[in-house]
Structure 1
Amino acid sequence: MSYYLAKTLDDASFDEVVERVTGALKEEGFGVLTDIDVQRTLKDKLGLEFRKYRILGACNPPLAHQALEAEDKIGTMLPCNVVVQEMLGGHVEVAAVDPAASMQAVKNPALEALAETVRGKLEKVMHRL
């Protein structure tokens, strides 16, 4: 089982893809709690050049609440990270954590169905792109 879901896009700029991802997440009930600009951070902190790379911390509040009720330390795995990165040739890749794969490590049966629900929503996000 892979630990992520991914899709490569050839029909939009990096910034357009970030907007599309944010909109598709919203349609599935997710908000973006964090937005880490890795390119800028590596430039500012280390003086390094890096490709466009953003980590969006996505959260679906009702599902996050259910997970927190089932497992009090699950916050260590929240929010669901979605990466948007510029690839060679102008392609843009979107990759999201597969919650079903990550929840296997927790070994809490109450989280299995919830993880599948979140996975299904993230798959719909990928299809919308």
Structure 2
Amino acid sequence: MTYYFSKKLTNISFNQTLEKVATVLKTKGFGILTEIDVQDIMKKKLDRDIKPYKILGACNPSFAYQALQTENKIGTMLPCNVIVQELEDGSVEVASVDPKASMQAVENDALIKIAGEVQQQLQAAINEL
């Protein structure tokens, strides 16, 4: 089982992709809680240049609440990370963690069921891009 799913987009800029990702995630009940600019961090901390790369912390409050009621330490694995990165050919890739794959380590059947529902919504969002 892979730990992520992704989609490569062409003919759209990195910044337009970020906006589109946020919009599509919102239609699936997710909000962006955090945004980490990896390109900026690598430049500031290591003086290294990389292509634009952002990590978005996406959260669906309803699913997060259910997960916390099922497993009180699950916050160590939240929110769901979605990356947006510019590739060498100028296209943009969007990838999301597969929550079902990551939650299998917890060994809680109720949590796996919730993770499956989150997986469906995240995958639908990625496919919609």
Give the structure-2-normalised TM-score.
0.98
In the alignment, does 2:87 pair up with 1:105?
no
| 2:9 corresponds to | 9
| 1:34 corresponds to | 34
1:16-44 CA distances to partner (integer Å, 9 max, x unpaired)?
11111010110000000000000011111
SS at match of 2:106: coil
| 1:50 corresponds to | 50
| 1:91 corresponds to | 91
CA–CA distance in 2 between the matches of 1:46 and 1:31?
A: 30
1:91-119 CA distances to partner (integer Å, 9 max, x unpaired)?
10000000010011000011111011000
- 1:48-87 equivalences under 5 Å are 48-87=48-87
Percent identity among equivalent residues? 54
How far off its partner does 1:128 sit? Answer: 1.4
| 2:123 corresponds to | 123
How far off its partner does 1:11 sit? Answer: 2.2
Root mean square deviation, CA, Å: 0.7
How far off its partner does 1:45 sit? Answer: 1.6
CA–CA distance in 1 between the matches of 2:58 and 2:127?
A: 17
SS at match of 1:21: helix
CA–CA distance in 1 between the matches of 2:120 and 2:26?
A: 14
Counterpart of 1:98, as a letter, is D
CA–CA distance in 2 between the matches of 1:11 and 1:67?
A: 37
Unaligned stretches of 5+ in structure 1? none
Unaligned stretches of 5+ in structure 2? none
SS at match of 1:15: helix
How far off its partner does 1:48 sit? Answer: 1.1
CA–CA distance in 1 between the matches of 2:28 and 2:62?
A: 12
